[in-house]
C-alpha cells in the first residue's frame, strides 16, 4: 500500500478527526488542518505524531498560502487530500441570505477545489489522490439546509471535472455520508432516532466513512466515483432533513 502524506481539512474534531485517526492507523501521515479548534487540533496532532496547519477556508484568496504552509509543516510534498471541513447552517427557501450562500459556497465547494488544484500543481508529486466529502442529500434532496446543499452539489460537479482535468496523475473521488454524527442542536435521543432512519435501520458511524475514505486514497482504477456510505438513507425520501426526526 502507498503511504501518503494527506492534508485532512477540518481534522481537529468530529468526522475529520475520525478520518485522520483511520489514515494514521492505515499507514498514512495525516496533516491536521484546523481553523478555530486549536486545542483539539493540538491534542490530535500529539496523539498521532502528525503535523498541523491552521487556515480559514472561507478566505479563498488564501488557499494557496494554506497549502504551502501544509507542505512546510509536512516537510515535503503532500500527495493526498481529504476535503472533510464543512460549514452546516440551517436555511430554507424563501428565507435565504446572500452572505450565507457565499460563505458556505466558499468553504464547502470553492476551497476544496482550490486545494485539489494546489496539490496537482506540485512538481514533485507523480501520484496523488483527492477525496471529497459530499452528502447523501445529493441523491435524496430536500429544501432544508439549502445553501449547504447547493454548495455540496457544486462540489460534486467539481469533483467530476477535477477527475477529468487532473487525471491520470491525480485521482479524484468522493464519499457521500448519511447522518453520521449529532448535528446542530440535536439531543441524544433525537440523534438516536434519526440515525436509524435508513434501509439498514442502524447508525452509519464515522468509522465506516473513514474506512471508505482510506480505501479511495489508494484505490486503483477509480476516478470520479462517489461512494455512498449511508446505510441506504438516500432511498428514504423525506420532505425535510432527517436530523429533525422525532421533533414535534
248 pLDDT tier (thresholds 50, 70, 90) = low
Question: In which domain, by residue range, is 106 found?
Answer: 5-244
C-alpha to C-alpha distance for 125 and 119, rounded to whole angstroms? 8
What is the average pLDDT score of the chain?
94
pLDDT tens for 172-188 read 999 999 998 887 777 88
216 pLDDT higher than 80: yes
pTM above 0.85, yes or no: yes
Q: Are strands 5-8 and 29-34 parallel, antiparallel or unpaired?
A: parallel
**Omega prior to 94 cis, within 30 of 0:** yes
Q: Which residue has cell 459556497?
A: 105
Instruction: Specify the DSSP class assigned to residue 235.
Output: G
Q: What is the mean pLDDT of residues 186-196?
A: 85
Structurally, the chain folds into a number of domains equal to: 1
pLDDT tens for 79-90 read 999 999 999 999
Using CA atoms, how far residue 219 sits from 23, 33, 136, 222, in Å, is 14, 24, 21, 6
- CATH number of the domain encompassing residue 28: 3.40.50.720
Amino acid at each position: 500500500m502507498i503511504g501518503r502524506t494527506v492534508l485532512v481539512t477540518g481534522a481537529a474534531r468530529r468526522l475529520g478527526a475520525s478520518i485522520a485517526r483511520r489514515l494514521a492507523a492505515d499507514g498514512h501521515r495525516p496533516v491536521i488542518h484546523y481553523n478555530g479548534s486549536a486545542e483539539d487540533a493540538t491534542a490530535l496532532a500529539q496523539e498521532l505524531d502528525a503535523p498541523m496547519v491552521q487556515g480559514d477556508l472561507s478566505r479563498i484568496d488564501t488557499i494557496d498560502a494554506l497549502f504551502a504552509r501544509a507542505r512546510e509543516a509536512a516537510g515535503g510534498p503532500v500527495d493526498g487530500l481529504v476535503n472533510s471541513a464543512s460549514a452546516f447552517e440551517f436555511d430554507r427557501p424563501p428565507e435565504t441570505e446572500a452572505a450565507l450562500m457565499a460563505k458556505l459556497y466558499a468553504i464547502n465547494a470553492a476551497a476544496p477545489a482550490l486545494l485539489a488544484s494546489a496539490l496537482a500543481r506540485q512538481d514533485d508529486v507523480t501520484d496523488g489522490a483527492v477525496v471529497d466529502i459530499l452528502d447523501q442529500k445529493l441523491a435524496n434532496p430536500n429544501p432544508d439546509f439549502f445553501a449547504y446543499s447547493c454548495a455540496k452539489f457544486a462540489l460534486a460537479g467539481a469533483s467530476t471535472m477535477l477527475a477529468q482535468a487532473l487525471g491520470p496523475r491525480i485521482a479524484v473521488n468522493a464519499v457521500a455520508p448519511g447522518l453520521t454524527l449529532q448535528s446542530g442542536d440535536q439531543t441524544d435521543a433525537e440523534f438516536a432516532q434519526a440515525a436509524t432512519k435508513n434501509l439498514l435501520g442502524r447508525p452509519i458511524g464515522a468509522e465506516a466513512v473513514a474506512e471508505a475514505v482510506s480505501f479511495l486514497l489508494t484505490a486503483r482504477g477509480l476516478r470520479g466515483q462517489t461512494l455512498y456510505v449511508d446505510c441506504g438513507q438516500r432511498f428514504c425520501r423525506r420532505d425535510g432533513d432527517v436530523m429533525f426526526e422525532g421533533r414535534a
